[in-house]
Amino acid sequence: MSKHLTFKAMLLLTCLSAIWLSCKKDRESVVTERVKAWETLIDGNSFASYGNFEAKWNYNYPWGTDHNGSARMAGSSTNHSQIALSSGEMTITATRLASSPGNSTANGFTNVAIWYNSGACHAKQQVLINDQFPSYTISGDFAVPTARGTWPAFWITGVNSWPPESDIMEFKGNSTNWQNTYDGAWENKLTNVSNAGSYHNYKCWYNKISATDVECHYYIDNNWVARHVLSNAVNKPMWLIINMQMEGDSGSPGPTGNTLYRIKNVYMGRERAF
């Protein structure tokens, strides 16, 4: 009789343990779902007014007005001749100058003569992929010039070092979009975009895949086009930049008149793991 009772007690204990483990697993699943959240950092309203814009964006490049082409960026809270807002849209205008004011002041490009005024901005919110923020989505709608000498781009690059770099959208004087990843070596995806002067959506989803590396999934008009791996990018802050450079890699001579680059619905969001 005692053996029979012992067996029944053991069976009951086993059942109770199984129920407890199942409940614990369910509770852990609920907790796991609760400790992850998606945060919107920049939405389509950032171009709704200059107040909204200046809350989320800074004028020019993070390092100044010049870079790797013949355009000098010009823009401020009191100067909207090259970077202007209207009806939720930002327009960057590149203007040919009658004479060159001198050469680029950017490191490595001081031999390049300036022949245009143009515009750039960079997000105040940096991109930082790590354990706390393991994935980001960055996207926007862009209507780009494709004439020789025009070089519009939408990209992220390292705050403290180069690499890393990821180009979500880049046109170099024709209708081919370049989506590039640089971590010491280049990966490139080239896609011909029909009617690129009308609005198209360009997007990248960044996802941490190891202690050091990030996968970059590139999209055009919500169609997946490429996966690259950005090595040694975890825990490295990056700037998000919108700009229109001129000539350089996009050829020369560039346009003699004004060139327009239109942007709207720029978005940045990330996953937060608590």
- The DSSP bridge partners found for residue 257 are none
From 250, 252, 272, 253, select the one nearest 261 (Cα to Cα): 250
Helices marked H in 191-272: none
Rounded distance, CA 81 to CA 4, Å? 91
DSSP assignment, residue 44?
G
59 within 8 A of 52, measured Cβ to Cβ: no
| Element counts in the chain: helices (H) and strands (E) | 2, 17
Backbone phi, psi, residue 61, to 5°: -75, 160
The span from the CA of 235 to the CA of 214, in Å, is: 10
- Residues making up the chain, counted from first to last: 274
By annotation, the residues acting in catalysis are 165, 170
Which backbone phi and psi does 176 adopt, to 5 degrees? -90, 125
Tell me the chain's radius of gyration from C-alpha atoms.
Answer: 25
- Asked if residues 269 and 137 have their Cβ atoms less than 8 Å apart, the reply is yes
